[in-house]
Chains A and B, each alone.
Chain A
Amino acid sequence: MAHTLAHGFADPVHEGQAVFRAAMDALSRPGQIRPLATTLAPPAPLIPELAALALALTDADTPVWLDAPLRAEPAVAAFLRFHTGAPLVDAPDRAAFALIADPARCPAFAAFSQGTPAYPDTSATLILAVETLSNSAGPAFAGPGIRGTAHLDAGPLPADWASRWAANHAAFPLGLDLLFVASARLAGLPRSARPVALEAMPCT
């Protein structure tokens, strides 16, 4: 297994902190696209940005769920086990983080842990590797960390995405937080991001 093991962070502390910082910034400024540089070369279909977040955010205390394409490639599990020590779980509702390489087939949000009223922070964070990630179009969001409204176009995503997100936001303070990654960049969508209907958008 380890004969072909891809390398982890060359400088675990500083690279891990840099990626953590990028994820924190992405979630505190929902919808804004941020650069995410990494030199990782993980086994496909785990893209380098997905791997970088996994290495920075997960460890033995954070059960990780992999979607079907990631699960189908044993080298992905071996890479993550070695570099993070995170337990890989079959049941999505036991995961603290879900790595999703095929976002168009992302399971229903209800399949993941929503947190509890006493500890809403125990909900899952979904990290989705998307092909499209831009601010120039897409649905609009408002809420904490957003000046006015922010557009975020991420895809491909399931057809019922808008209603999923509306339900996720409505359950606040429970609900999922999302991180979208694409080539060299990422964006965050925390549960606090309120979907804004286009007709209700203020003229700017």
Chain B
Amino acid sequence: MPSVSQTPPPHSMPDLAARQRAMARAGEATSDELRAALARTGAVTEAQDLRPTETGLVMVRGRIGGDGRAFNAGEATVTRAAVRLPGGETGFAYHLGRDRVRARLAAILDAHWQRPEARPALEAALDAIAGRRAEAVRQAARKTAATRVNFFTLARGED
């Protein structure tokens, strides 16, 4: 796939990393959690679709040997949404799976996140969602850790 672009889009916003992090956390939320997060900020969930929310595919790339040349490992379903708020902010979401409602809510949240007055409340809501996820991951890690092998060596009579 050619990677050369003629005119890179203007994505040099200073808080890009923060936005990416917000989008990633929104991607781990349920629809209900997203609705609740938007409601907490008093944000409207009305938005205009820039493009109908749709399900499609991405080709999942792996690397030969884990760190070498890329190869196509297989595809995954992805649902994407792109919305515009009455104030002009545009929001996007790309999520694994086929849940259109959830993707559209996440896109609306991404748009509201760009409003400085809405950001702190949304960040707090996303932190709570991320906390729930982190706890689940921590518990799985504890169960996995219990299956770690602790080797012990038997003395064989040599010094």
Contact = CB atoms under 8 A, between A and B. Distances in A.
In-complex A–B contact (CB below 8 Å) = yes
Interface of A: 1-3, 5, 7-8, 12, 60, 63, 66, 71, 74, 77-78, 81-83, 87-91, 94
A77 B52 CA distance: 20
A66 B5 CA distance: 11
B6 A5 contact: no
Given A8-B51, A83-B51, A74 B90 contact: no
Interface of B is mostly: loop
Contacts of B50: 2, 5, 7, 82
Interface residues of B, number: 17
Nearest to B80: A85
Given A3-B90, A82-B50, A71 B7 contact: yes
A160 B46 CA distance: 55
Across the A-B interface, give the 3 residue pairs with the lowest CB-CB distance, nearest first: A2-B90, A89-B2, A77-B7
Contacts of A5: 50, 84, 90
B82 interface: yes
A115 B9 CA distance: 31
B84 A74 contact: no
Interface string B70-101: 00000000000010100010100000000000
With a 10 A CB-CB cut-off, give which of B4, B7, B51 has the most chain A CB atoms.
B7
7 contacts: A1-B10, A2-B50, A2-B90, A81-B9, A87-B4, A88-B7, A89-B6
